[in-house]
């Protein structure tokens, strides 16, 4: 089977696809064939397209029951939704630093970094577009975004204002020379005050929305340092030597100390570690204060794209994490 894009000019919301049925292809209903050979197509969508005369065989209109045969030429018009655009929205931002090259922002928990499917407003990008007329042209929905934080992870992000600054910063992330320190509240007490977690990560075979430790995954390395030991929780700092999706959360769950409050990787059970009675109730009370993972990107250091000098930025813990620590008696 060969695919050829038509040269006919079409509106942005439509795309034409030409499929030539190869020799040796068995006779098969056209709706079944196209449902299997067009990405994201379903049989119902194909049948509706045939009714709407968006599918022609050898230049002729056919029915869904038509049986394809070798050398048939299928011209299919694919409706495509117009690509959404990120729009400026007047959303408050906590700007830590800004100059002609970049912006360092302290992202609150609950804010998505950039627009994506089913989530095109209320993001950091929407707020940045209102705040600044100058952002790097990284992508339609990600102007200025060099790296990201999970929706429910708070903390520091650097945003590029020019394409040159974006490229300069992106290279540092690729080479893992960016200094990123996170603070997390985790379940239990770590065996060692300092340590390194090395475990390859990849998509979970059980749930594609999750990340898991897998043998054939990408290398991931996280260093940790215990800052404070509480009754059944610990406050730790972490530094990333690699930057994999959900790296800290998966690594800590892997060693038996999930991030407190993490709904995805086992951090929301008030019976963690066999807690019972008053301790289990105390944990439940703490979880009610923190409806997200207790993870904060506290510090960020890199070579400035303009001055070529090292710069370092720091942020305080957000109120919800500070309140959990206070209730646990942390100094």
**Whose structure tokens read 């038996």?**
256
pLDDT of residue 82: 59
pLDDT of residue 81: 61
171/184 same-domain check: no
pLDDT of residue 13: 57
Q: Residue 64 pLDDT > 80, yes or no?
A: yes
| Nearby residues of 323 by Cβ (< 8 Å), 6 or more positions away | 289, 290
Domain boundary among 175, 197, 220: 175
pLDDT digits (tens, 9 = 90+) for 123-145: 999 999 999 999 998 766 889 99
Domain boundary among 79, 102, 119: 79
186/301 same-domain check: yes
Between residues 226 and 142, which one has the greater pLDDT? 226
Between residues 330 and 199, which one has the greater pLDDT? 199
Tell me the C-alpha distance between 42 and 63, whole Å.
16
Furthest C-alpha separation in the chain: 78
pLDDT digits (tens, 9 = 90+) for 29-47: 999 999 888 877 788 889 9
| Nearby residues of 276 by Cβ (< 8 Å), 6 or more positions away | none
Q: How many domains does the structure of the chain reveal? A: 3
Query: What are the residues facing 229 on neighbouring strands?
Result: 234
23/165 same-domain check: no
pLDDT of residue 8: 40
Q: Would you call 64 exposed, middle or buried from its count of C-beta atoms within 10 A (0-12, 13-18, 19+)?
A: middle
Classify residue 86 by its DSSP letter: -
Q: Residue 154 pLDDT > 70, yes or no?
A: yes
99/66 same-domain check: no
Report the chain's terminal Cα–Cα distance, integer Å: 68
When pLDDT is cut at 50, 70 and 90, the band that residue 4 belongs to is: very low
Q: Residue 80 pLDDT > 80, yes or no?
A: no
Tell me the C-alpha distance between 234 and 248, whole Å.
15
pLDDT digits (tens, 9 = 90+) for 281-316: 999 999 999 999 999 999 999 999 999 999 999 999
201/315 same-domain check: yes
pLDDT digits (tens, 9 = 90+) for 158-207: 999 999 999 999 999 999 999 999 999 999 999 999 999 999 999 888 88
Mean pLDDT of 58-76: 94
49/111 same-domain check: no
**220, 242 contact by CB (below 8 A):** yes
When pLDDT is cut at 50, 70 and 90, the band that residue 9 belongs to is: very low
13/114 same-domain check: no
Q: Kind of pairing, strands 102-107 and 154-160?
A: antiparallel
pLDDT of residue 1: 45
**What is the pTM (predicted TM-score) of this model?**
0.75
Instruction: Locate all alpha helices (DSSP H) within the chain, ordered by sequence.
Output: 30-37, 43-51, 124-131, 163-174, 247-254, 277-289, 319-327
Domain boundary among 79, 110, 133: 79
Tell me the C-alpha distance between 84 and 96, whole Å.
30
**Most confidently modeled of 81-90, 130-139, 230-239?**
230-239
The closest of 49, 37, 29 to 3, measured between CA atoms, is 37
When pLDDT is cut at 50, 70 and 90, the band that residue 208 belongs to is: confident
99/204 same-domain check: no
161/185 same-domain check: no
Residues known to be catalytic? 150
DSSP string, 6-64: --S---TTEEEEEEEPPTTPPPEEHHHHHHHHSTT--HHHHHHHHHTT-EEETTEE--T
pLDDT of residue 192: 95
Domain containing 191 equals: 176-331
Give the CATH number, domain containing residue 69: 3.10.290.10
188/144 same-domain check: no
- H helix or E strand, kind and range, residue 225: strand 221-229
| Nearby residues of 3 by Cβ (< 8 Å), 6 or more positions away | 17, 18, 19
Give the CATH number, domain containing residue 97: 3.30.2350.10
152/48 same-domain check: no
Mean pLDDT of 200-225: 91
């Amino acid at each position: 089977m060969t695919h050829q894009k038509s040269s006919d000019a079409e509106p942005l919301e439509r795309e034409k696809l030409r499929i030539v049925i190869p020799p040796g292809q068995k006779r098969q209903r056209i709706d079944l064939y196209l449902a299997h050979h067009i990405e994201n197509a379903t049989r119902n969508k194909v049948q509706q397209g045939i009714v709407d005369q968006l599918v022609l065989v050898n230049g002729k209109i056919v029915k869904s029951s038509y049986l394809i045969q070798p050398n048939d030429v299928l011209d299919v018009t694919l409706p495509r939704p117009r690509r959404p655009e990120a729009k400026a929205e007047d959303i408050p931002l906590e700007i830590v630093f800004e100059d002609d090259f970049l912006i360092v922002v302290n992202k609150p928990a609950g804010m998505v970094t950039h627009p994506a499917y089913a989530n095109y407003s209320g993001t950091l990008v929407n707020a940045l577009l209102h705040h600044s007329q100058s952002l790097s042209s990284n992508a339609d929905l990600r102007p200025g975004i060099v790296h990201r934080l999970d929706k429910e992870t708070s903390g520091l992000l650097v945003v590029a204002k020019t394409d040159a600054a974006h490229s300069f910063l992106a290279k540092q992330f690729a080479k893992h020379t960016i200094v990123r320190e996170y603070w997390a509240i985790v379940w239990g007490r770590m065996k060692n005050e300092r340590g390194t977690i090395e475990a390859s990560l990849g998509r979970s075979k059980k749930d594609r929305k999750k990340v898991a430790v897998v043998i054939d995954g990408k290398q991931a390395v996280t260093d940790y340092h215990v800052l404070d030991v509480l009754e059944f929780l610990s406050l730790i700092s972490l530094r990333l030597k690699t930057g994999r999706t959900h790296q800290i959360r998966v690594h800590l769950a892997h060693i038996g100390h999930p991030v407190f409050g993490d709904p995805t990787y086992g951090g929301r059970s008030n019976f963690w570690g066999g807690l019972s009675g008053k301790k289990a109730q105390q944990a439940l009370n703490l979880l009610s204060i923190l409806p997200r993972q207790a993870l904060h990107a506290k510090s960020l250091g890199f070579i400035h794209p303009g001055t070529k000098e090292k710069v370092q930025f720091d942020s305080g813990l957000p109120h919800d994490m500070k309140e959990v620590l206070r209730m646990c008696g942390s100094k």
